[in-house]
């Protein structure tokens, strides 16, 4: 499959090993891992950072194998899940940084083109989330009010 805004193919990447059981060396039980996920999220970490911390500091390679649940599912069970998905917020954050760059550098045509492509990705992803019911049906991305979403 081709990449989103080019005609070229994507780069090959690594794949996760096919494992169906949790590793024996994990010292924590499933309940302890869930409590650790909740604690890390309440400290202000995002879901991807929580996964990296558990992998690097606690030796938990796959939270889904160790607990039987994904990080977002654990957060939803504890009623602290974010209302907007993390990947959409990341794209919005990048678009805001690019928009601020363009305000300072008005002649950056490559940056303007990149901003158009970035906002196209945001609109496409938000349409998907609205159709699946993750976002409300009246949710819209507006660059003027996007900074409020990141607070």
Q: Say how far apart CA 144 and CA 151 lie, in whole Å.
A: 14
**CB-based contact 10:2 (threshold 8 Å):** yes
* The CATH classification of domain 86-149, taken from the options 1.20.120.80, 1.10.287.10, 3.90.550.10, 1.10.10.10: 1.10.287.10
Name residue, tokens 């302890």.
Answer: 32
Structure confidence at residue 6 as a pLDDT band (50, 70, 90): confident
DSSP conformation class of 135: S
Boundaries of every domain in the chain: 30-77, 86-149
Nearest to 52 by CA among 43, 61, 44: 61
**Given a cut of 60, is residue 132 above it in pLDDT?**
yes
Task: Report pLDDT digits (tens) over 60-95.
Answer: 989 999 999 999 999 999 999 999 999 999 999 999
Quote the pTM value.
0.83
Q: Say how far apart CA 26 and CA 149 lie, in whole Å.
A: 37
């Amino acid at each position: 499959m081709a990449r989103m805004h080019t005609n070229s193919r994507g780069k090959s990447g690594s794949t996760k090993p096919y494992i169906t059981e949790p590793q024996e060396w994990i010292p924590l039980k499933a309940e302890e891992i869930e409590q650790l996920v909740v604690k890390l999220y309440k400290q202000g970490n995002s879901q991807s950072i929580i996964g990296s911390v558990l992998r690097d500091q606690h030796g938990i390679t796959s939270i889904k194998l160790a607990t039987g649940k994904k990080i977002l599912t654990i957060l939803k069970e504890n009623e602290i899940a974010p209302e907007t998905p993390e990947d959409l917020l990341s794209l919005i954050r990048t678009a805001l940084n690019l928009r601020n760059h363009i305000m300072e550098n008005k002649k950056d045509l490559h940056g303007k083109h990149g901003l158009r492509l970035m906002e196209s990705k945001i609109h496409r992803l938000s349409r998907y989330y609205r159709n699946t019911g993750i976002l409300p049906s009246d949710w819209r991305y507006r660059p003027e009010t996007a900074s409020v979403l990141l607070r």
